Copies of this chain bind each other. A is one copy, B any other.
Amino acid sequence: MAISQEISYRLERLILDGGLAPEHKIPSERQLAASLRVSRSVIREALHELQGRGVIETRHGKGSFVSTMVPGSGDLREQGPLMRLFEGHPRTLYDLLEVREQLEGQAACLAAQRATSQDRHRITKAFRDLEDTDPLSNARPDHGFHQAIVEASHNPILVHVLNSLKNMMLMTVQASVANLNPRAEMRKKIVLQHRQLYEAIISGRPTSAQKIAMAHVRFVSKSMRDMEQEGSTLIRIPVEHEALSSHHHANR
């Protein structure tokens, strides 16, 4: 195995086991190179590896510091490398919504076709909850409403895929409802869309339901795009740690 890797592991152990405090400064590259008797190149490569793992962060002219995150729980690693890969790429959010538009549409279409009376009952209940709830905290009812529709499609695969996508969205950004609802006129439109969607499904109009559902997702996506463009930054939940967002610990 490469020396740079061994060193990166040794340093990681030293940091984790040794319980090095966040913001603790690591010896300079030249010092490490000298004391470990290797070239500065391998030190730099090892440090970049640790940087990629989020163990340390490096600031030009100052040095390398232990990240504020960390200990034991390798947290992010559990979620699979896929999440880390997408993290920090805002475009991913819209890619997600692009796919969801299609699938939510299909779910609505199928639901309008295949919903049993029991399904209709559950959807109706979810819809009532959606209308009754305080708009400020209606992320859950919203989720429940869509969930009920998807389940009425009677396609387990579709349920599963949409669920995965929703989880990915929650990891990327606290989205849609939380950000969009503050805007009164937007909320009205969304409420209207929900009502139309509900009626289309209950009265069994598949193509209509599909179009409405797709338009709904599209509307949400566009609204977020607009908000982002006009400066009002989306509330990004940096999955567990804002260690990497570089500009937080500016000057000391």
Contact = CB atoms under 8 A, between A and B. Distances in A.
Contacts of A96: 157
A15 to B, nearest CB: 8
Given A16-B89, A95-B158, A165-B157, A53 B81 contact: yes
Contacts of A60: 2
Give the number of times this chain occurs in the complex, counting copies. 2
Contacts of A223: none
A106 B75 CA distance: 21
A75 B80 contact: yes
A53 B85 contact: yes
Interface string A22-55: 0000000000000000000100111011111111
B99 A103 contact: yes
A82 B55 CA distance: 9
Contacts of A48: 4, 45-46, 48-49, 52
Given A75-B164, A102-B106, A95 B53 contact: no
Contacts of A41: 41, 44
Interface string A82-102: 101110010010011011001
A163 to B, nearest CB: 10
Contact of A156 (B44, B51, B84, B95): B95
A95 B160 CA distance: 11
Interface stretch (A66-74, A184-192, A200-208, A235-243): A66-74
A160 B161 CA distance: 11
A64 interface: no
A158 B98 contact: yes
Contacts of A98: 106, 110, 155, 157-158
Interface in A105-161: 105-106, 110, 155-158, 160-161
Given A48-B49, A70-B82, A103-B99, A76 B158 contact: no
Nearest to A156: B95
Contacts of A15: 85
A109 B240 CA distance: 36
28 contacts: A8-B52, A12-B85, A15-B85, A16-B85, A16-B92, A46-B48, A48-B49, A49-B51, A50-B52, A54-B77, A69-B82, A70-B81, A70-B82, A74-B80, A75-B80, A92-B156, A92-B157, A96-B157, A98-B110, A98-B155, A98-B158, A99-B106, A99-B155, A99-B161, A102-B102, A102-B106, A157-B168, A161-B164
